[in-house]
Amino acid sequence: MTESILAGLWAGYALAIPVGALAVLLVNLAARTSFRVGASGALGVATADGSYAALALLGGAAVAHAVRPVAGPLRWVAALVLVAMAVRIAVTALRSRGAPEAPGARHRGLGAPWRAYLGFLGLTLLNPWTIIYFSALVLGRQAGVGGDAGVLGGIAYVAAVTTASASWQLLLAAGGTVLGRALTGPRGRMVTAVVSSVVITALAVGLLLLPA
């Protein structure tokens, strides 16, 4: 059981910590709205990671093999969605520069907790390499010597993956909230929105440059 928990924590943090477009989007969302909204998005990411870890345990190589043919198209869809969101963030910020934030503006788009949760859940599920990653790790553990087996070991592994992902994403949301409080003026909102839009676009384009 302990080995499964440690393996799940390692796998979850190894997947979550590298900065990607979703991480930047999450920080920007928390900065523009609130920790509650950012935390909802963080839990959406963690739910997707835990779901893919569970699928990898259930299907292993078969699931990874089935996903590979559609990995390219899904990667394009994910990149296009991220670019569209980056453009929307930048355009909205530029249009409202110098003006106070309109009432209810924070609740548009992903600005409500349930929208943030579903949005980040869907964007994370669009990344097919997540399940391929977990499938490779699961197969490696199964081929190793002394690995935990059985239902309890699998449950512990998935729970540890979800916990690791959630804890890191919540840390990003908290950081975004602090950033938002430090830059509450119109100019601060515009600068952070434009910078994050550029970074999100660059990271989304980077998805398309990964080898197939």
Give pLDDT tens digits for 89-119: 788 767 766 555 454 444 456 889 999 999 9
**Binning pLDDT at 50, 70 and 90, where does residue 146 land?**
very low
CB 35 within 8 A of CB 174: yes
Q: How many CB atoms lie within 10 A of CB 69?
A: 9
> Which residue, among 106, 121, 41, 90, has the nearest Cα to 200 in the 3D structure?
90
pTM equals 0.77
C-alpha–C-alpha distance, residues 88 and 98, integer Å: 18
Structure tokens at 79: 């990149």
- Give the lowest-confidence range in 51-60, 71-80, 85-94, 145-154: 145-154
CB 66 within 8 A of CB 201: no
C-alpha–C-alpha distance, residues 166 and 168, integer Å: 6
Structure tokens at 110: 């992903």
Instruction: Give me the residue label for tokens 């890191």.
Output: 168
Mean pLDDT of 11-17: 88
Radius of gyration of the chain (CA): 18
The domain limits of the chain are 2-209
Q: Residue length, the chain?
A: 212
